Amino acid sequence: MDNTCIITLQDVNKKFGDALIVDNLNLFIKKGEFVTFLGPSGCGKTTTLRMISGFEMPTSGKVFLYDKDITKIPPYKRPINTVFQRYALFPHLDVYNNVAFGLKLKKVPVECTKFIYNKEFFKKLFKFDFKNLPREKVTKYKHVSADVIDKKVARALKIVDLEDLEDRSIETLSGGQQQRVAIARAIVNEPEILLLDEPLGALDLKMRKEMQLELKEMHRKLGITFIYVTHDQEEALTMSDTIVVIKDGVVQQVGTPTQIYNEPKNAFVADFIGESNIYSATMIDKKKVRFLGWTWDCVDDFDVNENVDVVIRPEDIQLLGPRNTNLLGVIKSKIFKGVHYEYIVLVGKTEIQVRDTRDLKLDSHVSIKIEPQNIQIMKKEYNINAFYNAYINDKNKVVISGDEFDCDLTQLSPGSKVDEEGFLVVNKLRYNLADANVAAEIALSDIEISDDISLSGVKGVVINSIWKGDHYQVLLRSSGEEDYVLDTQYNWNVNDIVSIIIPKEKIKLRLKGDLSKYEENA
Amino acid sequence: MKRTLRFQRKYLCIPYVIFLILFIIIPILLIIFYAFTNKQGFFSFDAMIDFFSTPTKISILLNSLFIAVQTTILCLVIGYPVAYFLANKKYNKNGVLITLFIMPMWINFVLRTGATRDLLTWLGVNGGNAPYFATLVGMVYNYLPFTILPLYTAMLKLDKSQIEAASDLGARPVQVFTRNILPQSLPGIISAATMVFMPTISSYVISDTMSEGKITLFGSSIYISFSNNQWNTGSFLALIMLIIIFISMLVTHKFSNEEDTVRGGTW
């Protein structure tokens, strides 16, 4: 792997109508890397991929291939091939012709000799001096010959393990086989970059795991750049050299899987990659941070009194016998996961996820220890209220640290509705979302507060209020000890008790895990 | 054991079976009977010999076939791009345009043809000075909706990702069309061609009206035979037409068998 950038995205913006899909994206992709664009659905990762393949043109900004500006070059002229989400194979062609499609269109420069029809030519022709007829060398563009195509197709099919299926029609193939044909069809053209748009999404879990390893192996063998799009963080961690985490069209973090997992840059990345405990915390001294009502030693240095987010991975928390020098908690739930147990430990009202190989008793009291280097501290972002430990209760309300808010569940799946019994209905399937874990996001301008405390069930105390030039930014702490930040025109006095009102359509929900696991068996 | 006549679902077919026998099977048998008998009702090949030995009758047949092929090709050439753009939501919001295109089908075609003739006469082209052209215009105008509809349904089903895939694999826009859009819409083309070819070959009202009787098509010659009481000749001509339509159906069926038979939506 060398260090040349094969693809550079420079200040790329993409708008569909008024919606900003990709927001000022700058990205460098190194030659030969396996790069994954990772993010929740609708985050702009596929749009970014389509701008690299040429199907979308950026609204502004530039795309470079090496040093060449390819922003306006159509897809058929780019040395880039794509494996499409639903394969997009040609049903009117058999496997061989699907794979050979690109090769048959291709014209390659061929050196050939051509007579020069000048005086000398005819002179020599009449003297029957055929050997010395004037000739010149020219390059012509010719179609690839049939036996070269044969050989290349055979090799591509061998790489994807489909040697014997050349004559089969597409409809007779299984999903996994179609997937392989789609890959063969792309790599047979020997592209410099292979784009893969959620190629494993339609396969079952076992098949997916197999294909992940095979794709990785293929990448190693072919040595070309792979750009892979997925919303599956596990897939991204397994396969990639570099992961680009994208949210709402903005790159959150670029790094190796280890960096992304161990040192997430913000709470979103931490929450999206792997299981994690995320808490709002305050730096109370040099390298001392306070959360869960306890003061912890840490290694990151932030300003004293700064509000921060902390992330602790479940496997980094140690459960010890109850002792007074540590934070105490009670084991509330226990699930066996094969190699380890997954515990939920309750500290006050707050849940902590813990992973431990030992078999501990339910309801037993434990104390909690976290090594300082395992507490990852991140700068708190005040551009949005994000709550990663929210859940839906049996009244279809979203619960954020004990505070209940009305919410709109239909946003979890397009075209869905909620029936009278409270189930989410999508395509005639019913989903019971009670106890479903979600991440909830509320923009700063969407929270209203009022001193009429009868207006809402959720009350909070104003912690501080800062003048931001044209508005005040108010920090509230609710009865459930959660912090809310909001923009308002009015100044509020510290320690005022207010009711917190959030219109239900303003709470953006994202389901953790797949909707299918909440399917209700009628 | 006592047998009772119980109602079974298959009895619901009885009306249609009666209809089938009365109006399809018996007439076909009658046609075959008359085609191979003479006026006295004895078996004979007179009608066949008469047909194959009269050059005018054969030329009428060839002329009809030629007009049918021309009409079919013209309808496809005009209808294909129209259907392609109609299938695009950008141009055909709420399906208003497609309704406009198929609206002529709501009006009886004899009335429609009369109106077309008057319109052409007003434009200075009519059966008097250009009977062949007028006939062709009448035919294409009448059968264009039958072409657009199956093509439109086929276009609606075009897989956009396949078109992108072709482009991704290096196909220039023209190649995308010839190698992907055309094969994808082939079932629609076949069913559109069938919808036009079969009725045009037998139609005679349109040609009679438009050419003001100057062009005699195969359909008209059958009509003339029967109205002149030449039942045997007429039956033999009708039989030939049946065979031609049967062959054209076999051909299209063979084509569309390879694809999943995607016929136009309303048929």
CB atoms within 10 A of CB A353: 18
Residue B262, pLDDT score: 41
Residue A240, pLDDT score: 94
Residue B267, pLDDT score: 35
**Chain B residues touching A189 at Cβ < 8 A:** 169-170
Which of A361-365, A396-400, A478-482, B160-164 is the least confident region? Answer: A478-482
Residue A106, pLDDT score: 86
In terms of Cβ atoms closer than 10 Å to its own Cβ (0-12, 13-18, 19+), residue A187 is: buried
Put simply, the answer to whether A101 touches B259 (Cβ < 8 Å) is: no
pLDDT beyond 80 at A54: yes
pLDDT digits (tens, 9 = 90+) for A20-45: 899 999 999 999 999 999 998 888 89
Tell me if residue B175 falls in helix, strand or coil.
helix
| Per-residue confidence band for A80, with pLDDT thresholds at 50, 70 and 90 | very high
Nearest-angstrom CA–CA distance, B239 and A278 = 84
On average, the pLDDT of chain A sits at: 87
Higher pLDDT among residues A427 and A377, named by residue: A377
- b/e A377-404 (16+ beta carbons within 10 angstroms → b): bbebeeeebbbbbbbbeeebbbbbbebe
Considering only CB atoms, B171 lies closest to which of A89, A92, A105, namely: A105
* Contact status of B166 with chain A (Cβ, < 8 Å): yes
Residue A87, pLDDT score: 87
Report yes or no: A351 and A344 within 8 Å, Cβ to Cβ: yes
Put simply, the answer to whether A84 touches B161 (Cβ < 8 Å) is: yes
Nearest-angstrom CA–CA distance, A507 and A406 = 9
pLDDT digits (tens, 9 = 90+) for A489-517: 888 888 888 888 888 888 888 888 778 77
- The residues near B266 (Cβ < 8 Å, ≥ 6 apart) are B149
Residue B266, pLDDT score: 34
pLDDT digits (tens, 9 = 90+) for A313-328: 999 999 888 877 788 8
* Contact status of B184 with chain A (Cβ, < 8 Å): yes
| Per-residue confidence band for B259, with pLDDT thresholds at 50, 70 and 90 | very low
Report yes or no: A243 and A255 within 8 Å, Cβ to Cβ: yes
Report yes or no: B219 and B244 within 8 Å, Cβ to Cβ: no
* ipTM greater than cut 0.90: no
Fold match between domain A1-79+191-262 and domain A448-501: no
Q: Which two tokens stand for residue A24?
A: 């000022």
Query: Alpha-carbon torsion A479, A483, A488, A492, what sign?
Result: positive
Cα–Cα nearest to B239, from B71, B93, B27, B91: B27
Q: How far is A425 from chain B (nearest CA, A)?
A: 27
| Per-residue confidence band for B91, with pLDDT thresholds at 50, 70 and 90 | confident
- The residues near B100 (Cβ < 8 Å, ≥ 6 apart) are none
Residue A291, pLDDT score: 87
Q: Which two tokens stand for residue B24?
A: 């399809």
Locate tokens 């008209």: which residue?
B220
* Contact status of A81 with chain B (Cβ, < 8 Å): yes
Most confident of the following: A148-152, A398-402, B38-42, B102-106: A148-152
- The residues near A208 (Cβ < 8 Å, ≥ 6 apart) are A200, A235
Residue A245, pLDDT score: 94
Residue A512, pLDDT score: 81
Nearest-angstrom CA–CA distance, B221 and B59 = 11
Report yes or no: A509 and A439 within 8 Å, Cβ to Cβ: yes
Put simply, the answer to whether B169 touches A90 (Cβ < 8 Å) is: no
Q: Is B12 left (phi over 0), alpha (psi -120 to 50) or beta?
A: alpha
Tell me if residue A423 falls in helix, strand or coil.
coil
Q: What residues pair up with A351 in beta bridges, in sequence order?
A: A346
Q: What percent of chain B is modeled with pLDDT above 70?
A: 94
| Per-residue confidence band for A195, with pLDDT thresholds at 50, 70 and 90 | very high
On average, the pLDDT of chain B sits at: 85
Kindly report the backbone phi and psi dihedral angles of residue A237, in degrees, each rounded to the nearest multiple of 5, phi listed first. -65, -40
- What's the 3-state SS for A190-243? CCCEEEEECCCCCCCHHHHHHHHHHHHHHHHHHCCEEEEEECCHHHHHHHCCEE
Residue A183, pLDDT score: 92
Report yes or no: A462 and A493 within 8 Å, Cβ to Cβ: yes
**Chain B residues touching A105 at Cβ < 8 A:** 169-171, 175, 179
Nearest-angstrom CA–CA distance, A451 and A8 = 52
Half-sphere exposure of residue A37: CA atoms within 13 angstroms, side-chain side: 31
Q: Which two tokens stand for residue B110?
A: 């004899």
Put simply, the answer to whether B170 touches A86 (Cβ < 8 Å) is: no
pLDDT beyond 80 at A358: yes
| Per-residue confidence band for A184, with pLDDT thresholds at 50, 70 and 90 | very high
Interface test with B, best of A80, A82, A107, A192 (most B CBs within 10 A): A82
pLDDT digits (tens, 9 = 90+) for A462-479: 887 877 767 788 888 887
**Chain A residues touching B184 at Cβ < 8 A:** 92
| Per-residue confidence band for A175, with pLDDT thresholds at 50, 70 and 90 | confident
| Per-residue confidence band for A522, with pLDDT thresholds at 50, 70 and 90 | low
Nearest-angstrom CA–CA distance, B241 and B248 = 11
Q: Which two tokens stand for residue B46?
A: 């007179």
| Per-residue confidence band for B3, with pLDDT thresholds at 50, 70 and 90 | low
Provide Rg for chain B, Cα atoms.
23
Tell me if residue A522 falls in helix, strand or coil.
coil
Q: What percent of chain A is modeled with pLDDT above 90?
A: 31
Residue A219, pLDDT score: 93
Domain at A448-501: CATH architecture: Beta Barrel (2.40)
Considering only CB atoms, A88 lies closest to which of B159, B170, B171, namely: B159
Structural domains of chain B in order of their starting residue, each with its CATH number: 55-258 (1.10.3720.10)
Cα–Cα nearest to A461, from A489, A480, A487, A488: A480
- Mean pLDDT calculated for residue range B11-22: 91
Report yes or no: A496 and A460 within 8 Å, Cβ to Cβ: no
Nearest-angstrom CA–CA distance, A511 and A410 = 12
Which of A16-30, A139-153, A471-485, B176-190 is the least confident region? Answer: A471-485
Residue B260, pLDDT score: 46
Domains in chain A: boundaries: 1-79+191-262, 107-143, 276-379, 382-443+502-522, 448-501
- Mean pLDDT calculated for residue range A347-371: 88
Q: What percent of chain A is modeled with pLDDT above 70?
A: 99
* Contact status of A57 with chain B (Cβ, < 8 Å): no
**Chain A residues touching B183 at Cβ < 8 A:** 90, 92
Query: Alpha-carbon torsion B219, B221, B224, B228, what sign?
Result: negative
- Mean pLDDT calculated for residue range A263-279: 86
Domain A1-79+191-262 has CATH 3.40.50.300: yes
Put simply, the answer to whether B169 touches A84 (Cβ < 8 Å) is: no
Domain A276-379 sits in CATH at 2.40.50.140
- What's the 3-state SS for B82-121? HHHHHCCCCCCHHHHHHHHHHHHHHCCHHHHHHHHHHHHH
Residue A276, pLDDT score: 85
Locate tokens 């040192």: which residue?
A263
